[in-house]
Structure 1
Amino acid sequence: MWHNRNVWIILIGELIVGLGLWAGIIGNLGFMQQLIPSDFHKSVLLAIGMLAGFLVGPIAGKMVDRYAKKSVLIWSSVGRIISVFFMFVAIYFESIVWMMLFLIVLQIAAAFFMPAMQAIVPIVVKDDELMTMNGWHMNVRTISRIIGTAAAGLLIVTVDLIWLYIISLIMYVLMLGCMFMLKIDEEQQQAKAKHSGSFKEVLPIFKEQPIVLMAFCLAVIPTLFLGSFNLVIINIVELQQNQSISGILYTVEGIGFMLGAFFVRKLTTYMTPTQLLFTVALVISVLDLSLGFSHISWMPIVTFAVFGFAVGCFFPSMMTIFQRQVPKSHHGRFFAFRNMFDTVLFQIVLLSTGALLDLIGLQQMGIVFGVISLTLTCFFFLYVKKSAMQVQ
């Protein structure tokens, strides 16, 4: 796999675009802090961008299946570059409207880019290399998040805000160059997808491939933790009266994630991807319950470190199941559908977390999430045993 130039291009490109993305995210927070006093109005502005990406999801999925994925990656990269110029105008005029246009264009570009990238991985690597590639892909994404947030956080207090977006622009231009360097033979896939049908053709896949439905639904379990991540950390800080623990929790989770994504390939030599998903789902369920002991100084550190390792194993395994079991002619629409589902689910979890924290507090909320996760894990485990389901 490491002799494949396309693998290096994808991983380097993911690192570059991640640095640009996080520079822009930190810049967005700084810009909104200057002009928008209300946290609710800030969330509404960000939600408008996500809504735009959600609405174009079906179109993006069909185009990824119908046209060359490399072309989709190139044009969506161009869209990211164009979006930054809207932000330059927003800064010059101190205009929220122009920032809204920036967010809309950026999210629409991402709605095309992400399914195309997820669909292109099974084309550039062999089937038995998918787990390793997915693990490294997510590791690089995590590294870009750590470096990007640290560097952008330092820059925002030392230089003018516009420099963060200049860095984003440079990163997006470099990413566009990486996409031109890809060498992929897509003629066979395009011939099969030439007459790809509607977006609704994704739904029968869940009936035809029960393993896909199982993996799709099990993804709710880590999302319960991920969607509440920042709010949980804020409450742990308040519960322990220790501001420094927030940085420790973010760090150990990031390190745990990278270790999980690195070792997941070795773990699959001892168990199938299905068994690995259920093992990790069970571990995360227990970690949800462990939030009930967040008042103990060392307990959240262990919880977040193990959670990082668990999701580092979970998502590469889940992605490998999707890439193997879903027909390649449907990859674009399927991954677009999954991204749309994730967007809605994250918003539901975020709002539910806020409500539960206000009503019952962190420790009781952990018990609620733990019971939900254990119930889902047991239900789908029995479903798998009954249907004798297995990944081919």
Structure 2
Amino acid sequence: MWKNKNVWILLTGDFIAGLGLWLGIIGNLEFIQDKVPSDFLKSIILASGPLAGIIVGPLAGRITDQTNKKMVMLIAGFLRIVSVIFMLIAIQTGSVWWMVIFLICTHVSAAFYFPALQAAIPLIVDEKDLLQLNGIYMNVSTLSRIFGTAVAGIFLIIMSLSMLYAVSLVAYLGLFILTCFLSIDETKEKQTSKEANSGKTGFKELFPVIKGLPIVFMTLWMTLIPLLFIGGFNLMVINISELQNSSAIKGWLYTAEGLAFMIGAFFVKQIRQKISSYSILFACSFMIGLSHLFLYLADIPIIAVFAFILFGFSVGCFFPTAATIFQTKVPKSYHGRFFSFRNMLDSLIFQVILLITGFLLDSIGLQLMNVLFGSLSIAMTAAFYAKYRQLRANSQQKE
């Protein structure tokens, strides 16, 4: 796998893209904080980008399945470069409307780029290497998040906001150039894709395929469990900081979760050699529920840090495993639409959980909210496990 130049291009490109993304996110917050006094208006402006990504999701999935995936990634990369120019105009003019255009273009680009990337991964490595590559890919994304936010904070001190976006622009140009060197053999996939997509236009044809694959359908629903934690991640960190009356705990929680995530994603292949993918999913889902329950004692620093370590390790194993199941069980001719649908679903659920988390933090507080979420996660895990055993029993009877 490591001798495959495509692997190195994708990993290096993702790291560069991640740096540019997080530089842009920190820059967005700095710009909007200065220009928009209302928190409600800030939330509306920031929500405009994800909403645009959800709207174009079906189109992105269809085009990814019907078109050369490298070409989709290149066009999405070009749109991302153009979007930074809009943000530079926003800074020069002080206009929030240009920033809205920047956000829309960025998320539309992501709506095309990431399904194409996920669909390309099974085409560049053997199936036996998928789990390892998914784990490494997620580690690279985590590193770019940690490094990107740290660098952005330093850059904002030593340079102007325009220069920060100029650095982001250079990063996106680097990604575009690297993508040009990708060589993906899609000859067989184009044929099967034409057969599978003849007369088909979008998600309407995808849903029967998902329903016909009970394991995929169940795994898709199981991704709700880590999202219960991820959706309110930042709000929980803020509340834990206030509960402990400590600003330093924020850094400890982010660092602990990030490092634990990378360890989980790194060792998931070794774990997979001893137990099945589905056992990993159920065990990780249960541990995510436990991490919520531990936060009932969030006023104790060491318990709070341990809960975030447990969560980080769990999702570090969970997401590469789930991604591998999707890539191997869903027919490749539907990969573009499937990963586009999954990205849309994750984005929508994330926003809903964020709102629910804010409401529960105001109404019942951090500790009771985590007891509720933890109990719900464990109950969902038990229900999915019972369903899995039923599916396996039915499969054995047919054999």
Residue of 256, 259, 262 corresponding to 1:258: 262
Residue of 206, 221, 228 corresponding to 1:224: 228
- Equivalents in 2 of 1:149, 1:283: separation in Å? 28
Shift of 1:157: 2.1
Does residue 55 of the first structure (1) align with residue 55 of the second (2)? yes
What is the TM-score when the length of structure 1 is the normalising length? 0.98
Report the counterpart of residue 120 of structure 1 in structure 2: 120
The ranges of structure 1 where at least 4 consecutive aligned residues each deviate by more than 4 angstroms after the TM superposition are none
Shift of 1:38: 1.2
Give the partner amino acid of 1:165: Y
Shift of 1:44: 0.4
Q: Which runs of 5+ in 2 are unaligned?
A: none
Give the partner amino acid of 2:173: V
- Equivalents in 2 of 1:297, 1:87: separation in Å? 40
- Equivalents in 2 of 1:34, 1:348: separation in Å? 27
Comparing 199-208 and 369-378, the one that deviates more: 199-208
Shift of 1:344: 0.6
TM alignment of 1:294-313, pairs within 5 A:
294-313=298-317
Report the counterpart of residue 355 of structure 1 in structure 2: 359
Report the counterpart of residue 372 of structure 1 in structure 2: 376
Shift of 1:380: 0.8
Comparing 31-40 and 333-342, the one that deviates more: 31-40
Shift of 1:296: 1.4
Does residue 332 of the first structure (1) align with residue 336 of the second (2)? yes
- Equivalents in 2 of 1:139, 1:308: separation in Å? 12
Report the counterpart of residue 201 of structure 2 in structure 1: 198
- Equivalents in 2 of 1:166, 1:187: separation in Å? 38
Q: Which runs of 5+ in 1 are unaligned?
A: none
TM alignment of 1:165-180, pairs within 5 A:
165-180=165-180
Report the counterpart of residue 4 of structure 1 in structure 2: 4
- Equivalents in 1 of 2:184, 2:347: separation in Å? 30
Could you report, residue by residue, the CA deviation over 1:20-66 in whole angstroms, capped at 9, with x for unpaired residues? 11111111011101101111111100111111110000000000000
For these two proteins, the number of residue pairs brought into alignment is 390
Could you report, residue by residue, the CA deviation over 1:134-186 in whole angstroms, capped at 9, with x for unpaired residues? 00000000000011000001111221100111011101100001110001111
RMSD: 0.9
Aligned-residue identity in percent: 47
Shift of 1:256: 0.3
SS of equivalent to 1:194: helix
SS of equivalent to 2:158: coil
SS of equivalent to 1:198: coil
SS of equivalent to 1:37: coil
Give the partner amino acid of 1:155: F
Comparing 56-65 and 151-160, the one that deviates more: 151-160
Shift of 1:205: 2.2
Give the partner amino acid of 1:146: I
- Equivalents in 1 of 2:262, 2:359: separation in Å? 31
Report the counterpart of residue 144 of structure 1 in structure 2: 144
Could you report, residue by residue, the CA deviation over 1:308-346 in whole angstroms, capped at 9, with x for unpaired residues? 111000000000000000000000000000000001100
TM alignment of 1:70-81, pairs within 5 A:
70-81=70-81
- Equivalents in 2 of 1:297, 1:160: separation in Å? 37
